[in-house]
Amino acid sequence: AGNYAFQPQPMGFPGQPVVPPVQNQPIMHQGTIWMPIPPSIPNCPPGLEYLTQIDQILIHQQIELLEILTGFETNNKYELKNALGQRVYFAAEDTDCLTRNCCGPSRSFSIRIIDNLGREVITLQRPLRCSSCCCPCCLQEVEVQAPPGTRVGYVVQNWHPCLPKFTIQDEKRMDILKITGPCVTCSCCEDVNFEVKSVDETCTVGRISKHWTGFVKEAFTDADNFGITFPMDLDVKMKAVMIGACFLIVSLLFTKI
């Protein structure tokens, strides 16, 4: 064979048909099972093909030992998994030390979301803005790009005296969905749910949930777990924007520093 690598051919028993190898299997990389790479889809931003095959995403924030020991806020990292526990994406925050530790939950950030080929497929950009109900003209916002440099939508915080409310917009700033959370977002022993509704808020189409992780994790770390559900046939761009909405909610309402 020399320097060439040949693919072994499947063998069968006499009289039995040859069974071809199974394609599109989950990928194991450094102990992590990744979701199978889907085929390319016309008019779908590269890397968002994964989202056409799922109707929910589980987001697990990784525990940072330095934060536990010192209370020093580090760049957050997250695993995004499907319902089977296969990793769909990996997300990492990109902010400087001063911003993280001085601005707290209101800090600006960039979050880069990478697929299992190592491509940055979604970028979330959050500018530094106010989160107080006293400043309704400068509330929080996240711009969602997929791929990086191409805007696909926005998540905009809406003013309300009691409830956390947000609007999901497309790239032309047209309202697509509404998000409404509970008046009290600190809950013991149960999940905190944010309902995703139609623009007129008459129909619930999805949910963003902060999952209860137990007393120890809740008290001593900000390594939270979140879930996103959406219709299977929802535009993949809006699914990407819902991921951005989840990260805005995480940073704004569930960051302990």
- Convert the pLDDT of each residue in 89-98 to its tens digit: 999 988 766 6
pLDDT at 67 (0 to 100):
53
Average pLDDT, the chain: 80
Mean pLDDT of 26-50: 85
Asked if 12 contacts 18 with a C-beta cutoff of 8 angstroms, the reply is yes
Domains of the chain, residue spans: 49-129+140-154+208-254
Higher model confidence: residue 5 or residue 31?
31
Cis peptide leading into 147, omega within 30 of 0? yes
Mean pLDDT of 11-22: 43
For residues 121-147, one letter each, b for 16 or more C-beta atoms within 10 angstroms of the residue's C-beta and e for the rest, the string is bbbbbbeeeebeeeeeeebbbbbbbbe
User: Band of the pLDDT at 167, cuts 50, 70, 90?
Assistant: very high
Decide: helix, strand or coil at residue 88. Answer: strand
Mean pLDDT of 129-149: 81
- pLDDT tens for 179-231 read 999 987 776 678 899 999 999 999 999 999 998 765 545 444 456 789 999 99
Indicate if the pLDDT at residue 83 is higher than 90. Answer: yes
Query: How many angstroms separate the CA atoms of 132 and 155, rounded?
Result: 17
Higher model confidence: residue 254 or residue 245?
245
Residue 45's Cα: distance from chain center in Å?
16
Asked if 248 contacts 166 with a C-beta cutoff of 8 angstroms, the reply is yes
pLDDT at 4 (0 to 100):
36
Indicate if the pLDDT at residue 19 is higher than 50. Answer: no
Mean pLDDT of 124-139: 74
Q: Nearest Cα to 52, choosing from 82, 92, 12?
A: 82
Indicate if the pLDDT at residue 21 is higher than 80. Answer: no
pLDDT at 71 (0 to 100):
53
Asked if 230 contacts 209 with a C-beta cutoff of 8 angstroms, the reply is no
pLDDT at 7 (0 to 100):
38
Mean pLDDT of 114-123: 94
